[in-house]
Amino acid sequence: MMNKAKLLLLEKGKMKQRILWADILKWAGMLLIYLGHLPVSENTYLFIFAQHVPLFFFAAGFFATMTPKEGSFWAFLLKKIRSLLLPYVLFSFLTIIYMLIVRMYTFSDVPQMLLQTLFGIRNQTPAIQLWFLPCLFVISVFFEILKRIIRSRIFIAVIVVALYVVGTFFLGHQPTNDPSWFWNSDSAFVYLLYYFLGALLFPFFRDWKYSRKKAGIKTLFWIFFLVSLGYEVFLLFQSVWLSGYLQQTLGQRLFQAANLISTFILLFFFVCFSRFVEKVPGVNRFLAYIGKGSLYLNGNEMIFKNLFSLLFGVLGMKQIVYGSDEMMLLFCFLLMVLLTFTVNLLEKLLFGKLFGDARR
């Protein structure tokens, strides 16, 4: 049998490899984020917001691991500052410049915008699309501290679930919709659960080999997948009805519990979807390449969406592009492709080393 040291080295080797399906999952999440920030129908809006933010934090937890990172905590902290806070500052700065030039803000507005950027509270910052970066920083650092202090996964799980309950029911406000704490730390109470699940379940999803499973396991898999697929399709067309029905028939706490179960089903679907797409030659690497640039896609989202909106207005195409959810979905996909192979390439070249991102 392999000794513990060899197993650890093997695990490290796996973690350093690019995982196609994980990047495809990020692409799917980014597409939902792009679409969710457009004036879509109420049903599509509820459909998207039922899954896209949990999906993002779930995917972010994939490489967190359930064991403490190598090296000192301060080295880990510096890495997270480089990969999360520096991009937040840079893209926020670019957004402020954009607002001064295009949105006709004045220099007298800059101190207020800088202060809002410092606090980083969702719905209150100039670069509203970047709220997740300081929130993810809080989550990742807290999770690392938790792992270094508590080695029992069960105890960690108890703390994570307890924080989720506190964040959902006892803060006096809804931190997932309207956070009010510095760097969205109140949102972190809730989204830490998905980050933890990503770290916990990623090795299982990564090492899953369908061809090696027995017939009974394969049957269960297809049952779970078809249920998740059916539920995804149902939400796509009936999110408004389902949300209204559950709120009328369930109390607030049971409604939140139902939402949590719903999210778990949707996360399972997206993992399966990504693993299926991973098997499609050409498409898999194309979508994975887009997905691994999610940091830059998020950073550029608001600026270029608004610029194209102005362009569509000048060309008289705004009603066409924004005329249906389907057209907006197509626009989001094409915009992501365009940014990935133009602006994002330049930004990776200029800022990749600064952010600790050497990938091209």
Rounded Cα gap, residues 129 and 302, in angstroms: 7
Rounded Cα gap, residues 28 and 21, in angstroms: 10
Question: Would you write out the chain's pLDDT as a tens digit for each of its 360 residues?
Answer: 444 444 444 444 444 567 999 999 999 999 999 999 999 999 999 999 999 999 999 999 999 999 999 899 999 999 999 999 999 999 999 999 999 998 888 999 999 999 999 999 998 999 998 999 999 999 999 999 999 999 899 999 999 999 999 999 999 899 998 999 999 999 999 999 999 999 999 999 999 999 999 999 999 999 999 999 999 999 999 999 999 999 899 887 899 899 999 999 999 999 999 999 999 999 999 999 999 999 999 999 999 999 999 999 999 999 999 999 999 999 999 999 999 999 999 999 989 888 987 543
pLDDT at 1: 42
pLDDT at 18: 76
| SS3 assignment for the chain | CCCHHHHHHHHHHHHHCCCHHHHHHHHHHHHHHHHHCCCCCHHHHHHHHCCHHHHHHHHHCCCCCCCCCCCCHHHHHHHHHHHHHHHHHHHHHHHHHHHHHCCCCCHHHHHHHHHHHHHCCCCCCCCHHHCHHHHHHHHHHHHHHHHHHCCCHHHHHHHHHHHHHHHHHCCCCCCCCCCCCHHHHHHHHHHHHHHHHHHHHHHHHHHCCHHHCCHHHHHHHHHHHHHHHHHHHHHHHHHHHHHHHHHHHCCHHHHHHHHHHHHHHHHHHHHHHHHHHCCCCCHHHHHHHHHCCHHHHHHHHHHHHHHHHHHHHHHCCHHHHCCCHHHHHHHHHHHHHHHHCCHHHHHHHHHCCCCCCCCC
Rounded Cα gap, residues 294 and 133, in angstroms: 12
pLDDT at 16: 52
Phi/psi of residue 170, nearest 5 degrees: -125, 10
Q: What is the pTM of this model?
A: 0.92
